[in-house]
Amino acid sequence: MLITVGIAQCFGGGIRIEVQKPQSSARAERIYPDVQAAAVVLSNFGIALDAAESFFKLLPNIEINQVLTFPPMDVPSHQLAREDFHIVAAVTG
């Protein structure tokens, strides 16, 4: 499944990972207690450790909850489910 993966630092120090289908409101997010736990998930999505580390280094320099987004990538649906990401479209109205 083609998705974008973004990370943000949460108030209190956790790391939020969010996945979204490009040009869609379909998204999911999870919060991890620290960089190490988030790095494992990003690695499981196929993001290289050096790329993830460069993003993690930027987080202290931006606002809390501001999302840094990796380029779109193809992640198998079963891998998303294994990491407990279930992408659903946002309900409007």
Q: Give the tens place of pLDDT for each residue, 17-26.
A: 999 998 888 8
**pTM of the model as a whole:** 0.89
Q: What are phi and psi of 55, to 5 degrees?
A: -70, -45
What's the pLDDT score for residue 59?
94
Residue located via tokens 């960089």: 35
Q: Give the tens place of pLDDT for each residue, 24-72.
A: 888 999 999 999 999 999 999 999 999 999 999 999 999 999 999 999 9
Instruction: Give the domain ranges of the chain.
Output: 2-82
92 CB-contact burial (10 Å; exposed 0-12 / middle 13-18 / buried 19+): exposed
pLDDT at 87 over 90: no
